[in-house]
Structure 1
Amino acid sequence: MHTLEAKNLCLSYGATSIFKDLNVAIPKGKITVLIGSNGCGKSTLLRSLARLMNPQKGSIVLDGQELAKLPTKEIAKRLSILPQGPTAPEGLTVLQLVKQGRYPYQSWLQQWSEEDERMVRLSLKATGMEEFTERTVDALSGGQRQRAWIAMTLAQGTETILLDEPTTYLDVTHQIEVLDLLYELNEKENRSIVMVLHDINLACRYAHHMVAVKEGHIWAEGAPEEIVNADMIRAVFDMDSQVLPDPFYGTPMCIPFGKGRTLTSAKQPEVVEQPILQQV
């Protein structure tokens, strides 16, 4: 079953074509990660899936309905997107930010409700941000700030969440913190999560489904262990590498060969067998 589908999608910026007759299906209730080199169209594809870009041809289908035919507020109740590097007005508190996620449910006839309050509380709890409600967003650390934005996204109550490079500018500790949070949301609440990631090894570790994009078309898609190999890395990233099992999770782990340093030995690295741990 699919939650989002792009059918015969054609996208362009002015005279520059980005995608032509692209077809891709996002599995429901899974974590899907878009990978590819800079400028290949990953973020453009993500934005088009959220109807932030209008295609010149083709359609985006959400749970069997064309996005183009749905009212904006209806889409916002079913699909949310967190863009790369979002910014909040100076002085905005975490609580005020998270409350913005309930905007699609507000109208002249329906003001702030108990359900709105409940969703805000649940979102703060799920992201571990309850103790930061009165702190301003600009006073948070990078990982805390990203969790606050994710809390706002969760407050929308959508089954499908799109995130554009949610780990950008975060150190490795906060990257894992954010990705673990998204993994937990998928496991416990069956949210369909689609995100763009640059780190191929983290993408393999957290994704159920991967979509490799190259020069405006889908080069490969499927489970990480099915599509990630040295040939795919070379084709998509123009980089030589060796792909080995991650010693802890068993997922593909890419070891790149740098072009600026000559290998001193052709000996294959020894792979130490270790028990595969289940992801928490």
Structure 2
Amino acid sequence: MSKGLAAKNLTLSYGSSTIIRELNLIIPHGKITVLVGSNGCGKSTLLRSLARLLKPRKGCVLLNGKEIAKQSTREVAKQLSILPQSPSAPEGLTVLQLVKQGRYPYQTWTRQWSVEDEAKVNWALQVTQMSALAEHPVDSLSGGQRQRAWIAMTLAQDTDILLLDEPTTYLDLTHQIEILDLLYDLNVQQGRTIIMVLHDLNLACRYAHHIVAIQNQQVYAQGRPEDIVTEQMVEDVFHLKSLITTDPLFGTPLCIPQGKGKNNGKKSLTATGS
């Protein structure tokens, strides 16, 4: 594979605890890939390693055909950007100041702030609908606005690959859909490769071209949502019985988890789904 991200025999650990073991993975270029799995399965750890934020114990990550560990930080930062989970900004930092940080990989002693840098920052603010809030402190914004500001920073970095760790965490349903719609548009209109960790399996099915399910330190299954999201997969990966039906709006898999609810478990899933 010469373009995009891949993992080869990747083993990741924190101290003596192994999180991912001998994992092999190819991220489809120009598509939206979502990592799913139960809490603690290693999704975020894997994402950090793909971004060269965590050194493998064994194996390697390949970025555009080359080992990412052998590339310079500046070189990597021009090819991929990452939005970590729950990022924080210094008190009083404005949206504009935050977004400008996305251009730091392009600054050198011989190349200072340029017209191109200014254009990229303005474009990132515009596409995320944050231009009107450019002079507002980041810590004064709502959750959805803050997330848009951070996404604007990653966009200003102008990379072909975007990695996002739970970009919808702590957001209400409206803001979740707004953020995912924004990322979907970036993929469709600009061909950006987007890799996300999401907890909501139904949203993952709705937005992803490719899903990677992590279980027991390995890839349990990967492929189109329609091909891999089954009742057996949900039970094995999430330890949950469910009914898989079809989303009436999008035609993607829709997971209905088994639970007691108001009927105290008296009606079967099969009956309620028929």
Fold conserved between structures, TM > 0.5: yes
Distance in 2, matches of 1:264 and 1:39, equals: 32
SS state at 2:56 partner: coil
Identify the residue that residue 139 of structure 1 maps to in structure 2. 140
Identify the residue that residue 265 of structure 1 maps to in structure 2. 267
Specify every segment of 5 or more residues in structure 1 that has no aligned partner in the other structure, as ranges.
272-280
Distance in 1, matches of 2:200 and 2:229, equals: 13
Question: Is contact 1:41–1:215 with CA below 8 Å preserved after alignment?
Answer: no
Give 1:262 deviation, angstroms.
Answer: 4.3
* Residue range with higher mean Cα deviation, 10-19 or 28-37: 10-19
Question: Is contact 2:12–2:21 with CA below 8 Å preserved after alignment?
Answer: yes
Distance in 2, matches of 1:20 and 1:36, equals: 15
Give 1:215 deviation, angstroms.
Answer: 2.2
Identify the residue that residue 194 of structure 1 maps to in structure 2. 195
Whichever residue aligns with residue 38 of structure 2, its letter is S
Distance in 2, matches of 1:210 and 1:26, equals: 10
Specify every segment of 5 or more residues in structure 2 that has no aligned partner in the other structure, as ranges.
none
State the identity as a percent. Answer: 62
Alignment partner of 1:113 is 2:135: no
Distance in 2, matches of 1:226 and 1:270, equals: 20
| Runs of 4+ residues deviating >6 angstroms | none
Paired residues for 1:162-201 under 5 Å: 162-201=163-202
Paired residues for 1:116-131 under 5 Å: 116-131=117-132
Distance in 1, matches of 2:115 and 2:151, equals: 21
Taking structure 2 as the reference length, the TM-score comes to 0.96
Give 1:69 deviation, angstroms.
Answer: 1.2
Alpha carbons of structure 1 residues 57 and 131: separation in structure 2 relative to 1, 3 Å: same
Question: Is contact 1:9–1:57 with CA below 8 Å preserved after alignment?
Answer: yes
Q: How many pairs were matched up?
A: 271
SS state at 1:12 partner: strand
Alpha carbons of structure 1 residues 44 and 86: separation in structure 2 relative to 1, 3 Å: same
Identify the residue that residue 68 of structure 1 maps to in structure 2. 69
Distance in 2, matches of 1:154 and 1:115, equals: 14
Alignment partner of 1:24 is 2:25: yes
Taking structure 1 as the reference length, the TM-score comes to 0.94
Give 1:270 deviation, angstroms.
Answer: 4.8
- Spell out, residue by residue over 1:208-235, the C-alpha distance to the aligned partner (whole angstroms, 9 max, x if none): 0000001211100000000001000000
Alignment partner of 1:155 is 2:156: yes
Alpha carbons of structure 1 residues 53 and 259: separation in structure 2 relative to 1, 3 Å: farther
Question: Is contact 2:260–2:266 with CA below 8 Å preserved after alignment?
Answer: no
SS state at 2:271 partner: coil
